[in-house]
């Protein structure tokens, strides 16, 4: 029997490493001390789930995100150390076609991380190469059977494909523990349209919300298009920003009344919805803001008010292209 995930992972995790490639494009070893302080702060505050992916870091920096996370976890000696859960996502690359290829990928990630508490399929291939997925899922099961991973999760799966994958793994004695989807006040589609939360509850799967701050839109730092960062993000967010200002106004009002930041309210909303949000953090200041979402809870009226404002938005975040139905 594979061990269950630590019980204190029911509030918030840390997607500190989910920005892996964006950070690693400009990676400098001088960043390591700051990143270690981010890790240390999160763990002391009870945030013990850390998520990364084997695709975060390419070329000379191949696997660098996993290496850093493994190093920081090994160095940490403070409170909650025993509860740290190191999670990674294995990408179904076109050249990964067999059960053994997934086992090899898991072994490599385990070596970089030092251990592998939660191994996840990064996305489903159902939309373009459905037959590839079967042996890769079998590889995930084998990683648990061989004691190389403690538990299995999925990412970007819709309800139909989730139930199919859940059954395939169950037939091998492996339970799907978690499912990651893009979920926030500006990305409610997985829950309101696909109904994933109810499916996860039925199957006993913990829903993890990545990008809970909608690439920074829900922090309030972008008042208008001139504030947006350059590049593709400016174009993408610029299309959404004008139509979400009423939501941002509602979020700011709730935050002011609570004495919290807009980001903290947005993260807490995800918690109130029964998900584990994994906001990213590159600095200690960002990490402290994120953990300020813990230790309190929005009331039903506030959640309802935010729900209404979210539903009234003209546009929401574009969904991950690998999200299945």
Could you tell me if 85 and 39 are in contact, meaning their C-beta atoms sit under 8 angstroms apart? no
DSSP readout, 282-325? SSHHHHHHHHTTSS----HHHHHHHHHHHHT-S--PPPPTT---
3-state helix/strand/coil string of 53-77: ECCCCCHHHCCHHHHHHHHHHHHCC
Q: Is 127 helix (H, G, I), strand (E, B) or coil?
A: coil
Calculate helix-pair angle for 130-145, 99-113, nearest 10 degrees: 50
Which stretch of DSSP H or E encloses residue 106? helix 99-113
CA distance 9 to 35: 21
What the block records as the tokens of 78 is 């403070």
Q: Which residues are known to be catalytic?
A: 56
CA distance 16 to 9: 15
Could you tell me if 152 and 137 are in contact, meaning their C-beta atoms sit under 8 angstroms apart? no
What the block records as the tokens of 274 is 């029964």
Could you tell me if 217 and 252 are in contact, meaning their C-beta atoms sit under 8 angstroms apart? no
Could you tell me if 118 and 179 are in contact, meaning their C-beta atoms sit under 8 angstroms apart? no
Q: Which bin fits 265, alpha (ψ -120 to 50), beta or left (φ > 0)?
A: alpha
């Amino acid at each position: 029997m594979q061990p269950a995930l630590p019980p204190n992972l029911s509030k918030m995790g840390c997607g500190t490493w989910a920005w892996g490639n964006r950070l690693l494009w400009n990676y400098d070893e001088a960043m390591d001390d700051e990143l270690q302080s981010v890790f240390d702060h999160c763990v002391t505050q009870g945030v013990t789930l850390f998520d990364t992916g084997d695709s975060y870091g390419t070329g000379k920096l191949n696997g660098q995100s996993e290496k850093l996370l493994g190093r920081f976890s090994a160095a940490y000696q403070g409170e909650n150390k025993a509860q740290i859960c190191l999670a990674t996502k294995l990408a179904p690359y076109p050249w990964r076609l067999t059960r053994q290829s997934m086992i090899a990928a898991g072994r490599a990630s385990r070596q970089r991380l030092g251990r592998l508490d939660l191994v996840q399929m990064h996305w489903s291939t159902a939309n373009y190469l459905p037959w590839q997925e079967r042996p890769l899922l079998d590889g995930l099961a084998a990683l648990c059977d061989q004691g190389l991973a403690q538990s299995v999760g999925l990412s970007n799966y819709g309800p139909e494909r989730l139930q199919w994958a859940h059954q395939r793994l169950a037939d091998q004695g492996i339970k799907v523990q978690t499912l990651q989807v893009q979920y926030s006040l500006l990305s409610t589609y997985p829950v309101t349209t696909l109904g994933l939360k109810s499916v996860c509850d039925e199957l006993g799967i913990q829903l993890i919300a990545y990008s809970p701050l909608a690439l920074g839109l829900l922090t309030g730092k972008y008042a208008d298009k001139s504030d947006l960062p350059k590049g593709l993000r400016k174009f993408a967010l610029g299309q959404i920003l004008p139509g979400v200002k009423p939501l941002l106004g509602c979020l700011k009002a709730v935050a002011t009344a609570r004495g919290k930041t807009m980001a903290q309210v947005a993260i807490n909303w995800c918690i109130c919805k029964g998900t584990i949000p994994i906001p990213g953090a590159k600095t200690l200041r960002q990490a402290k803001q994120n953990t300020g979402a813990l230790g309190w809870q929005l009331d039903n009226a506030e959640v309802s008010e935010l729900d209404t404002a979210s539903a009234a938005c003209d546009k929401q975040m574009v969904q991950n292209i690998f999200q299945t139905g």
